[in-house]
A and B are shown apart, each in its own frame.
Chain A
Amino acid sequence: MTTFAQARIEADAKLPIIRITRDFSATPEQLFRAHIDPELFARWVGPTDMRTRIEHWDAKTGGSWRFVQDRDGTEYAFHGCFHDVRPDRIVQTFTYDDEPDGVALETLWFEDLGDRRTRLHGQSLCDSFEARDGWLASGMEVGVNEGYAKLDAMVADGAI
Chain B
Amino acid sequence: MVDRLSRVFAALADPTRRDMVARLAAGDATVGQLAVSYEMSKQAVSKHLRVLEDAGVVRRTGDTRRRPVQLDAAVFDLMTKWITRYQRAAEERYRRLDAVLADMTDAEQRGTAS
Rounded to whole angstroms, the CA-CA distance of A134 and B1 in the bound complex is 10
Question: How large, as a class, is the contact surface on chain A?
Answer: 35 or more
B10 part of interface (Cβ distance < 8 Å):
yes
Rounded to whole angstroms, the CA-CA distance of A40 and B105 in the bound complex is 13
Q: B110 — which chain A residues lie within 8 A by C-beta?
A: none
A113 part of interface (Cβ distance < 8 Å):
no
- Provided the pairs A14-B13, A46-B93 are in contact, do residues A136 and B86 lie with their beta carbons within 8 angstroms? yes
Contact between B9 and A151, CB atoms less than 8 A apart:
no
Contact between A26 and B85, CB atoms less than 8 A apart:
no
B99 part of interface (Cβ distance < 8 Å):
yes
Q: CB < 8 Å: which of B1, B12, B93 contacts A13? A: B12
A25 part of interface (Cβ distance < 8 Å):
yes
Which A83-137 residues sit within 8 Å CB-CB of chain B?
116, 120, 129-130, 132-137
Q: Nearest Cβ distance between residue A82 and chain B, in whole angstroms?
A: 19
Rounded to whole angstroms, the CA-CA distance of A9 and B91 in the bound complex is 10
Rounded to whole angstroms, the CA-CA distance of A143 and B92 in the bound complex is 9
